[in-house]
Copies of this chain bind each other. A is one copy, B any other.
């Protein structure tokens, strides 16, 4: 059911410092900062040959990243995103297995303009898992 690893998301306390580190020290291809007000984040995508790293920084007081950084001030890996072909079929299969879908249970449009869902970390070895319809 799951396909490619679409991205690994890393919450960072200083977006520009993290971007500079990936660009200059690690020599990676780093994109521009993009505000995503409907998701409460500013993101920078790092393009690796086979997948992406998504640097996340809070945008606004309601940001879902704020609490994570309060608990992990140095930052940390926030979630991993797997691609699926059919997000509603994936959701129904997961729910039938007992996994909890976060929020309303209906897909939202994610930062890439595609339908996404998040799964409860307690059901997936402590990992917040995002599914994105590829």
Contacts and interface: CB of A to CB of B under 8 A. Distances in A.
A97 B97 CA distance: 47
Contacts of A93: 25
Q: Within the oligomer, what is the number of copies of this chain?
A: 2
Given A25-B94, A82-B26, A93-B25, A127 B4 contact: no
A11 B127 CA distance: 10
Interface string A73-102: 011110010100000000001100101000
Given A80-B77, A97-B25, A50 B4 contact: yes
Contacts of A2: 26-28, 48
Interface of A: 1-5, 8, 10-13, 18, 21, 24-28, 48-51, 53, 55, 72, 74-77, 80, 82, 93-94, 97, 99, 121-122, 124-127
25 contacts: A1-B25, A1-B28, A2-B26, A2-B27, A2-B28, A5-B8, A5-B50, A5-B51, A5-B53, A8-B8, A11-B125, A12-B125, A18-B125, A24-B97, A25-B93, A25-B99, A50-B50, A50-B51, A74-B121, A74-B122, A75-B125, A75-B127, A76-B125, A77-B126, A77-B127
